[in-house]
Amino acid sequence: MTARKKDEPKEEAKALIYCGPALPNGILSRFAVYRGGIPKHLDEHLKKCPSLEQLFVPVDSLSSTLLAIETMGTAEHALYQEVQAYVKGGAR
């Protein structure tokens, strides 16, 4: 393992984009982009609906993920449906 030189830029934090349905009251918007991981304010929702986490994907995977969400029978479609049911059940 080599040490990074002092003047080398740090590796940019990977951006994630949320592809699921929006949570009410502005808690989480569809297509919101986050750097450095999933925000802590979503921890309670992630515990109640673990499928939420799976719908945060790298930005460069957005188009393939959206296609999969729209395709019945895919894992992404099932995840989206689970989050949608969570939202309709009164996610706050």
User: What are 63-81's pLDDT values in tens digits?
Assistant: 999 999 999 999 999 999 9
Q: What is the 3-class SS of 14-75, one letter each residue? A: CEEEECCCCEHHHCECCCCEEECCCCHHHHHHHHHCCHHHHCEEEHHHHHHHHHHHHCCCCH
**pLDDT band, very low/low/confident/very high, at 6 (cuts 50, 70, 90):** low
55: phi then psi, degrees, rounded to nearest 5: -95, 10
Give the predicted TM-score (pTM) of the model.
0.81
pLDDT digits 0-9 by tens, 28-57: 999 999 999 999 999 999 999 999 999 999
Q: How many CB atoms lie within 10 A of CB 21?
A: 21
Looking at residues 2-16, what average pLDDT do you find?
60
Give residue limits of the domains in the chain. 15-88
Q: What pLDDT sits at residue 9?
A: 45
Token reading at 29:
């918007």
